[in-house]
Amino acid sequence: MLSKTVLISESSTHPAVFRNCRLPVFFFKSVFPLGKLIERHAGIVSELGAGGSVATTAWDFARRLGCPEIYAAGLDLGFPGKRTHCRTSLSSMYTQLRTNRRLSVDAVNFAGITNADPFLTENNSGGMTLTDNRLIIYKWWFEGQIKSAPKGCLYNLSKEGIKIDGMEFRGKTELLKKPVIRPGINSTIKERIDTAAEIYSKNGFNNIKKLVQTIITECSRLEKICSAAAVTLKELQTVSEQSTLQNGLKLLSEYDRQISDSPSKELTGFIIQPVLNEIIDEEKSMFENSGKLYCSILEACEYHRIHAERALSRMA
């Protein structure tokens, strides 16, 4: 069934997805620094709205394709019939695997429905459907995007789904009356994939390979700098002479400059930011915070370098 599927993703998706996927893959712009670094080398320019859900990204994708009509299936944004998912969904099957004698399926489903302040709201049939404070955010997102998007025909096939202003309810019968144009769509998709593959084979692969090599080189450079900085910092903690201390601090400032002036600023920022957040929340001495920063950057660079080296070996 998936043999004719095209995967559209951003680069932060778990690597196992791409390793196990034998489908054509198209990337859109990432919101993460490391992803942005990849995009700059791979020539990724397309951007999709990230509303925090597969549904929001899929809707934005359909809109950007210029579809004159968009039909949303399964977009209920609530709990019709007090159900969290359809019975054959992955989430439903996962719930079955989690249950035991002390944790029943009903208990898991009850928690899923009640742990975000559920309430009733109007649905597409004029009745009421249970939703909660999490799902209602997506309703607001859709309504905001629909107002700012170019005019088009948007329809929701979920009769018991909560009402979304600007997205009219349509039954599946009307949708099934539409002409069958799948063969034409498949032909267009194949043509576009072949064109993209030809462009990528000329430039994309080599650019990505160069990027991975750059990441390895940059991580190795940062590892050396952080190792040297950590040694200097340790030595300064036992220094009492003022001139020696000043010289050591100047040396640390130079190390800091080399780290912050990294040619791959996105990568450096990606590595440093989580550590900075931890340091800000802790009340420790300058030496302790600096030591933690250098060690954390060192560990992060080593981690990224090892995985980049593995990736490069697969490209050989």
Rounded Cα distance, 203 and 56, in Å: 31
Is there a domain that residue 156 lies in? yes
Is there a domain that residue 57 lies in? no
Is there a domain that residue 141 lies in? yes
Contact between 215 and 267 (Cβ < 8 Å): yes
Residue scoring higher pLDDT (43 or 18): 18
Contact between 294 and 230 (Cβ < 8 Å): yes
Which of these three, 177, 195, 219, is where a domain ends?
177
Are residue 218 and residue 309 in the same domain, yes or no? yes
- Structural domain range at position 171: 70-177
Are residue 161 and residue 246 in the same domain, yes or no? no
pLDDT of residue 302 exceeding 80: yes
Is there a domain that residue 56 lies in? no
Rounded Cα distance, 167 and 70, in Å: 9
Are residue 95 and residue 152 in the same domain, yes or no? yes
pLDDT tens digits along 148-182 = 777 778 899 999 999 999 999 998 888 899 899 88
Determine the pLDDT at residue 1.
54
Is there a domain that residue 302 lies in? yes
Is there a domain that residue 187 lies in? no
Opening angle at CA 103, ends 99 and 104, nearest 5? 70
pLDDT tens digits along 20-70 = 878 888 888 887 777 777 777 777 777 787 667 788 888 888 888 888 889
Instruction: Using pLDDT thresholds of 50, 70 and 90, give the confidence band for residue 9.
Output: confident
- Three-class secondary structure of residue 10 per DSSP: coil
Are residue 81 and residue 170 in the same domain, yes or no? yes
Rounded Cα distance, 172 and 175, in Å: 5
Are residue 161 and residue 248 in the same domain, yes or no? no
Is there a domain that residue 50 lies in? no
How many independent structural domains does the chain possess? 2
Q: How far is CA 302 from the centre of its chain?
A: 23
Exposure on the CB side of residue 39, measured as CA atoms within 13 A:
20
